[in-house]
Structure formats: structure tokens, C-alpha cells
Amino acid sequence: MHVRVRFVGSLGRVTRREVEMTLPDGSVVGDLLRELSETYPNLGSLDTAKGILIVMDGVEAGNLQGLDTPLTEDGEVTLVPVAHGG
């Protein structure tokens, strides 16, 4: 399964602004975050409690199934830092 990940704001500073990821079929958002943290260690732990807003094709992940939301083929996942800048 192939998804496009867009990093907004400070997250784009620690890696590229956009990356393509391939994960096993049936993967969920939580799997993607773990894979991203392993592939790009500079991102650190992508923990929602530490302030990451996850938007899947324009829909905030909390409005779906949160970290258990299934990824969609060729979907776009945007990660936006919450705890950054007033």
C-alpha cells in the first residue's frame, strides 16, 4: 500500500516536506507513524499527546478511527504540529 505524507511547519524542517511511504496492505495510521519514526529518527516519537494533528485526505483522523484508521491506497496524510508557535 502506497501513501503520500506531507509534513507541515517545523516537521518539514526535520525531514523533507513530502515523502512517499509503502506499507503492507491493511496498515493503519498508527503503523504509518511508527514507520515514519523509524525511517526518519529526527522526527522523534510522533505522539498525538505531544502535539501532532493528523489529517487524512482533508479529514482529521480523530473524526475517523484515530490511530486505528485504515490507510487508503494513494491517500494523502498530512501531519501538522499543534504544540508549536503562538
Partner 1 sequence: MTSLNCTKCRARPSVFYRPYSGERLCSSCFRTSLVERVQLSINRFGMLEHGSRIAVGVSGGKDSLTLLHLLKQIEDTTHGSEIVAVTVDEGIRGYRDEALGIVERACKSMGLEWKLATFHNMFGWTMDELAAQKRELGACSFCGVLRRRALNDIAREVGADRLATGHTLDDMAQSALLNILRGDIGKMASLDPGGLSSPGFVRRIKPLCEVPERETTFYAYLSDFEFQGAACSYAGEAMRGDVRIFLNEMEEKHPGTLFTTFSTSLKLIPAAREAGLMKACRVCGEPSAGELCRVCQLLPGVSRGEAGKVPR
- The residues of the shown chain that bind partner 1, judged by CB under 8 A, are 8-10, 12-13, 48-51, 53, 55-60, 62-64, 69-70, 72, 75, 78, 80-86
Residue 21 vs 28, nearer CB to partner 1: 28
The DSSP code for 84 is S
Nearer to partner 1, 2 or 83 (CB): 83
| Cell, residue 46 | 510522533
Nearest distance in Å: CB 3, partner 1: 12
Owner of C-alpha cell 511508527: 34
Which of residues 1 and 8 has its CB atom nearest to partner 1 in the complex? 8
Those residues whose C-beta lies under 8 Å from the C-beta of residue 57, and which sit 6 or more positions away, are 72, 75, 76
Q: What is the bridge-based pairing of β-strands 2-7 and 59-60?
A: unpaired
